[in-house]
């Protein structure tokens, strides 16, 4: 109810502040009998962790996940899976400058007004650090969904856009550069650009795209819990996301029905895929693809004016180790959230055709 | 679980097929003591109903809502509100052509594969006819949220776009034309265009924008249930929606942080509003605004080839009374869903600052 | 959230006041492909309806259920099932005596304090009339659970108790008398007793017992959602229920472990069944059996003193057509709630052993 | 869905096996601004912990709770509260005897059949060790509910019963003896009796009663989520519970309405309280009281025959450190579950009278 849970059958509940002793979570509803590759889960965390490359925040956090329950001799038991990621790098900073002031386009103001109190250290609960827990759960969901391929990549940094149609993307190239853009030339340009932006103490937005292959027909529930609606919610819940579109997306709104309709092949696949793999909220077996827009990070390494709790103007100076552009690190988070959505619908779908 | 419910505290559960005896729903969690204007609820339904103008489907349905419970002497009692909308215009068509065939970009194929059976008459449960129930519940939510202004309008039809910044829109003009575009010149062009599209038996997509004013600070829950994430899900759950963006949206992904950050005024309002009224998933009191992209309607009044259940190619001929462009009728649906999201968060927010 | 929904996967949401135009509900999550016997559903309603025998309220209500959706050509489609039961016997009584007064041991006082308003006619939402909707949904759940036998019966009226051990009860005899007690001699005595109580304008409590046979192993979820915990909640949610015990029940609290433990047979069944078919919250395949205690109906056909809203003492006179003892009509309600619990766990259980 | 969560608004999700590295949980929905007494939380855990007295299991576990989030400078922040209790006494026993065998009246058989795998060490997830997490959350709920007094006590051990009416119980005496029976003479007899039972390697059942004072009017939701129904579920979800009754309970089923009705005083209180503080599922401000029946512990320190996975008869010998009677340690668990139920309804109730 208070927003810290995601999913109905494959349910993740998380906790943790940026500078508290630990983050953690509980996965309830993971089926029994899944042999987990724990290294692979840690690998996913490593793709998200700070300090991994020259274009992300240089903060050092090992982000090591420890499992407390629900796994016995490497296999899920069907009971709830508890896990913890300790915060090892909570420097005892002086936070007095941030304690009573509201940074622009952060959650300082809204948390304070909503709750009356807040853990202001490093953004507290509003920090994107909480997404580490999503990656852990998403990695388990991926293993449950063996056979379904969920791959995200960077398709935009600032005004630089990768225009390649989704079905021409070479997904094997995503991890071959630190931007996580599958086109090496574009990746090189984006990398240079991000470094320039950082040198100015500025930040820039970007776009993460995602393609999901081998989805069985039938995932998603009609009316309110359409597959793409839940995917949209999942993506919009990631810090800094401003927009979501799937299939033909915003461009589709400019098209004629006679161009947009996806004619069937005789095997039930479609000749085009403007639908983005979803019809009537339910997967049709074609590739699912979507775009997620991220705003520029709000923390600038610049001097600026803002207000304090009393409404007085105060001068602040951004400092520390921050991401100039979040999209490279957002790639595994987008994948994790997609995996959570699919895992949930996968389980729900096992129920509702009674004969099966 | 099976997708027919929306909202946690202000919860709507709906039922009904396009050509069954009736649609209906139950609202659970509406507080007691709200004096309802029942005519206003019917008015909202009338804004959505077929046959209301020259550019929408000419099917005739009175869409009269009857309340069965939860309202006593015009006031909500706190018990569940049951309501019914009878289907009066279910002609005993011959549906044999649709019974065993899958129309392209409809839900025929996915429903059949998911459930094994389906009510094929008029699309059954997948028909946008179910949104009538959303409008009823949204109209009650609006009355609960007295003071908060939720106004949607058509900002795009095909490639025609209204580029006016959100804060320059004259919301009093929305209902002054049948397109529901607040710019009269643009509305006239759009109307002409829609008629041309229909004359060809074709359809076209469009965009509905929405502005919400006077939102109290504090609505929305952190992490997974961010205000904009739930708004996104709500909009994406409407039939034919392909994308959602709020505040700076997709354009925001191209911006620098130094341009995108919303500097504070001393009263806590912000000088710009790229955030779209939401920071950290929680309303900050500024206007909320967002765009919703609709694909073109899949039903064309044209001849086309498709497949039947057995995978054979069959020829079909679209006929009947259909919308050439859904956005004029989608305006009240977008408002209703926004109202449901706000109502839910409004109630949740009453809880979580203990001192209040 | 506001209490009008039951079940997670097989979910029922109901509405309706005693004297409003209709009661109704929505079943969300019923699987597709179930061929429903609609007459059998009506039969279950008839077992609950007023006026069915000489020892129940003589109010006349046909309690005819109409289905609005979710069933197509007699088969469930997997979409939500909406249904309505019209109230045909809402006489335009003069309710002024009840409007401003609080009847003892009714919900008048608590509803008024909680909600500020209430539909006082016939008890409004607090009337046991709402259980008709439970019976409809339970009847559908029973048909989904084909093979599992759920049978309730009256085992106590006032101090008269049927002491037969559960496995010696002849369940075929339950419907052979109007008390619904499977022992004909005891039934005759109970009938006479109930008539005597009614003649005095008084009421008396009783006990309904229930036996469930052929339950598959594995229903129920550990920790908070144990099978018997959910059964207990289901039963305690029925109007007038004061207690629930299963298996050895309260008597089991007086026993030694060495007597109470159920030793295994080699096939996994147990020699005794003090466990009541549930171990660790999960069904073990043995018969489930439990007792439900009902208090005496609060409405007496007698003169009594009570208070009005202002706290003044007022004199009231119970009148009308009321049940002298609820247990005969409670039998199908107990069965219905048990069916809803089992249906929910039946669906949940299909998920959580991944190999299956 | 899989049973590891309790509560809607004040929600607890737990994890942990008896012999895993740790137990833990997340509380989501605890309001902000509550100054927590952390020592008091640990005190509640100490009341439950093993080894606390001569009549409970002599296993040693410090059961120290560590909080990871949601509390800042001693005050709740409104974000999710994560906590962990490390298992320090997981001896590397030889569990081969238990690994492939099913102990009678334990959950070994049902877990194995349901999940296909299980952590057999010490009962795994089915161990009552998980209730430690309930006590942590309940202790926080108690602090949120300041002013409401929730007190449980032992009223029965085997056939020994404390018959004192609930309103004559001296609750200040509960903690003055190790049985937690408020009558000192009875407590002494019970203590002697429990020691005798243990000396024989046997166990015995018992009853915990609970009284809740100063409950505001209005807690509980009508129809399915009645206050006593949720209390019943909460109690029945505790390991070894076989029955629940509130107010007049099972005895009430033998009474006449003319005796059972609770006549009003002019201030809205009632002269008698057979209703047990709840009418129509909603608290009426009178004391709530109820009884919870516990079966005898299944683990005997005796030799017995049972079966293994293959269905072969095997001989086993109970050993180790076990409780001869659970009720003394169950007292804080009953209180904790009652607190969780009340906390949830307390929050829900803040919503549904709109004027307030």
Mind telling me how many Å the CA of A251 is from chain C's nearest CA?
A: 32
Q: How far is CA D271 from CA B123, B280, D118, D263, D344, in A?
A: 61, 53, 53, 6, 29
Chain D contact partners (≥3 CB pairs within 8 A): A, B, C
The percentage of residues in chain A with a pLDDT greater than 90, rounded to a whole number, is: 90
Our separate counts of H helices and E strands in chain A read: 9, 17
Partner-chain contact A78 C347, CB within 8 Å: no
CA Rg, chain D, in Å? 21
3-state secondary structure of C33: coil
Residues of chain D with pLDDT under 50: 355-356
**Distance between CA atoms of residues B255 and D33, nearest Å:** 38
Q: Which residue has the tokens 């055709």?
A: A353
State the pLDDT confidence band at B352, using cuts at 50, 70 and 90: low
Q: What is the mean pLDDT of chain A?
A: 95
Is residue A177 pLDDT above 90, yes or no? yes
Contacts of residue A233 in chain B, CB cutoff 8 Å? 229-230, 232-233, 236
| pLDDT at B127 (0 to 100) | 95
What ranges make up the beta strands (E) of D34-174?
65-67, 71-72, 75-76, 81-86, 101-102, 149-157, 160-161
- Smallest CA-to-CA distance from A348 within C350, C202, B310, C246 is with C350
Partner-chain contact D80 A33, CB within 8 Å: no
Give the B-side interface with D, CB within 8 Å.
Answer: 9, 29, 31-34, 76, 78-79, 144, 222, 347, 350-355
Partner-chain contact D222 C257, CB within 8 Å: no
C222 is in an annotated binding site: no
C240 is in an annotated binding site: yes
The percentage of residues in chain B with a pLDDT greater than 90, rounded to a whole number, is: 89
What is the β-pairing status of strands B81-86 and B65-67? antiparallel
State the pLDDT confidence band at B91, using cuts at 50, 70 and 90: low
For A289-319, what is each residue's pLDDT tens digit?
999 999 999 999 999 999 999 999 999 988 8
DSSP state of D353: B
Q: What is the mean pLDDT of chain B?
A: 95
For D138-167, b where at least 16 C-beta lie within 10 A, e where not — what string?
bbbbbbbbeebebbbbbbbbbebebeeebe
For A11-52, what is each residue's pLDDT tens digit?
999 999 999 999 999 999 999 999 999 999 999 999 999 999
Contacts of residue D104 in chain C, CB cutoff 8 Å? 261-264, 270
State the pLDDT confidence band at A97, using cuts at 50, 70 and 90: confident
| pLDDT at C97 (0 to 100) | 75
Partner-chain contact A256 B158, CB within 8 Å: yes
A311: closest chain B residue by CA: B266
Please provide the DSSP assignment of D285-312 as one string. SSPEEEEEEEPPPS--SSEEEEEETTS-
B77: closest chain D residue by CA: D353
Chain centroid offset of residue C243 CA? 13
Q: How many CB pairs under 8 A join A and C?
A: 44
Contacts of residue A78 in chain D, CB cutoff 8 Å? 2, 114-115, 117
For A314-338, what is each residue's pLDDT tens digit?
999 888 778 999 999 999 999 999 9
Is residue A80 pLDDT above 80, yes or no? yes
Positive or negative, the Cα torsion across A104, A106, A107, A108? negative
Chain C contact partners (≥3 CB pairs within 8 A): A, B, D
* Burial class of residue C91 (count of CB atoms within 10 Å of its CB; 0-12, 13-18, 19+): exposed
For B291-317, what is each residue's pLDDT tens digit?
999 999 999 999 999 999 999 999 998
Lowest-confidence region among A203-207, A267-271, A321-325: A321-325
Chain centroid offset of residue D125 CA? 16
Average of per-residue pLDDT across A125-152: 97
Q: What is the ipTM of this complex?
A: 0.97
| pLDDT at A92 (0 to 100) | 59
Is residue B355 pLDDT above 60, yes or no? no
| pLDDT at C356 (0 to 100) | 34
State the pLDDT confidence band at B356, using cuts at 50, 70 and 90: very low
B352 or C284: whose pLDDT is higher?
C284
Partner-chain contact A68 D29, CB within 8 Å: no
Contacts of residue C354 in chain A, CB cutoff 8 Å? 31-34, 76, 144
| pLDDT at A356 (0 to 100) | 34
Residues of chain C with pLDDT under 50: 355-356
Nearest to B351 among D76, D350, D353 (CB): D350
| pLDDT at D356 (0 to 100) | 34
3-state secondary structure of B302: coil
Q: How far apart are the first and last CA of chain B?
A: 33
Q: How far is CA D53 from CA A60, B75, D41, D127, D157, in A?
A: 48, 58, 20, 20, 17
The residues near D19 (Cβ < 8 Å, ≥ 6 apart) are D87, D90, D119, D121, D122, D124
Q: What torsion, rounded to 10 degrees, do the Cα atoms C321, B76, C115, C308 define?
A: -50
D245: closest chain C residue by CA: C243
Domains delineated in chain D = 5-349 (3.60.150.10)
The residues near C200 (Cβ < 8 Å, ≥ 6 apart) are none
Please provide the DSSP assignment of C278-294 as one string. EETTEE-SSPEEEEEEE
Report yes or no: B270 and B262 within 8 Å, Cβ to Cβ: yes
| pLDDT at B350 (0 to 100) | 80
Which candidate in B32, B351, B353 is best for mutational testing of the D interface (most D CBs within 10 A)? B351
| pLDDT at A98 (0 to 100) | 81
Pure H helices in chain B: 38-48, 96-99, 108-115, 131-144, 184-199, 227-236, 249-252, 257-260, 327-349
Partner-chain contact D22 A77, CB within 8 Å: no
For B98-117, what is each residue's pLDDT tens digit?
889 999 999 999 999 999 99
């Amino acid at each position: 109810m208070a927003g810290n849970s995601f999913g109905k059958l494959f349910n993740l509940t998380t906790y943790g502040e940026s500078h508290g002793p630990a983050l953690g979570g509980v996965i309830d509803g993971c089926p029994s009998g899944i042999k987990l590759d724990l290294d692979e889960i840690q690998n996913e965390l490593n793709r998200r962790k700070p300090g991994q490359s020259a274009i992300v925040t240089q903060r050092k956090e090992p982000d090591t996940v420890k499992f407390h329950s629900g796994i016995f001799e490497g296999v899920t038991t069907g009971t709830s899976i508890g896990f913890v990621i300790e915060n090892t790098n909570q420097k005892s900073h002086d936070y007095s400058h941030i304690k009573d002031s509201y940074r622009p386009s952060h959650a300082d103001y809204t948390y304070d007004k909503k709750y009356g109190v807040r853990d202001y250290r490093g953004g507290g609960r509003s920090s994107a650090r909480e997404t580490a827990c999503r990656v852990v759960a998403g990695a388990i969901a991926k293993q449950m969904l063996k056979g379904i391929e969920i791959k995200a990549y960077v398709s935009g940094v600032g005004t630089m856009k990768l225009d390649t149609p989704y079905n021409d993307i070479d997904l094997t190239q995503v991890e071959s550069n630190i931007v996580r853009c599958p086109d090496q030339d574009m990746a090189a340009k984006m990398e240079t650009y991000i470094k320039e932006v950082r040198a100015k103490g500025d930040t820039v937005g970007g776009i993460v795209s995602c393609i999901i292959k081998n989805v069985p027909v039938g995932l998603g529930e009609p009316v309110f819990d359409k597959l793409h609606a839940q995917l949209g919610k999942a993506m919009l819940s990631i810090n800094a996301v401003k927009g979501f579109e799937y299939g033909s997306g915003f461009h589709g709104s400019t098209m004629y029905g006679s161009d947009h309709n996806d004619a069937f092949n005789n095997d039930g696949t479609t000749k085009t895929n403007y639908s983005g793999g979803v019809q009537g909220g339910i997967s049709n077996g074609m590739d699912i693809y979507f775009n997620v827009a991220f705003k520029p990070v709000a923390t600038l390494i610049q001097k600026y004016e803002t207000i304090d709790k009393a409404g007085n103007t105060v001068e602040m100076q951004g400092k520390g180790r921050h991401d100039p552009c979040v999209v490279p690190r957002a790639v595994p988070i987008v994948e994790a959230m997609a995996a959570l959505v699919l895992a949930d619908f996968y389980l729900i779908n096992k129920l509702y055709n009674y004969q099966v």
